[in-house]
Amino acid sequence: MTKTSKDRLKGTLIIPLGLTAVLVPFSLLIGWNLFTLLLFWFVLIPGLSMYLPTLVSSNQNHLIETVLGLVIFYSIMVFMIYDHYQTDYFKAMIISFLINLIVVSIWFKSKNLKVQTA
């Protein structure tokens, strides 16, 4: 396994681990209401998913790592709460997955445009 593929693997796996490490205390200590739901799923998740790979991976472009990490994290979440698929919490989580993929993609595209024009 090359150094690049090890870095990508570490960058991908840090996202579900880091987001789970934030989700558990957030859920237990703060609890869920409309504000905390929106804060966690629409602000913290995309922010942390873009930041965490930079801690362990030396690659410059983390788009693939971030998208794969988000897919793994949301897959685990869907698996854990599949019994509650008709709740508003589940719907908000699925909507946040789609929005976060779009936000992350736009963020990295705009970041790459700035680098190319500079």
Check residue 116 and give its pLDDT: 67
How far, in whole angstroms, is CA 117 from its chain's centroid? Answer: 28
Tokens 């790592």 map to which residue? 65
Check residue 83 and give its pLDDT: 78
What angle do the packed helices 45-56 and 3-25 form, to 10 degrees? 140
- In whole angstroms, give the CA distance from residue 107 to residue 79: 28
Q: What is the pLDDT of the chain when averaged over all its residues?
A: 88
- The tens-digit pLDDT sequence of the chain (118 residues) is 788 888 889 989 999 999 999 999 988 999 888 898 889 999 999 999 999 998 988 878 888 999 999 999 999 998 888 777 777 788 888 899 999 999 999 998 888 776 666 5
Q: pTM (2 decimals)?
A: 0.87
Check residue 68 and give its pLDDT: 94
Nearest by Cα to 106 from 34, 57, 50, 37: 50
Is the CA virtual torsion 98, 33, 26, 80 positive or negative? negative
Check residue 84 and give its pLDDT: 72
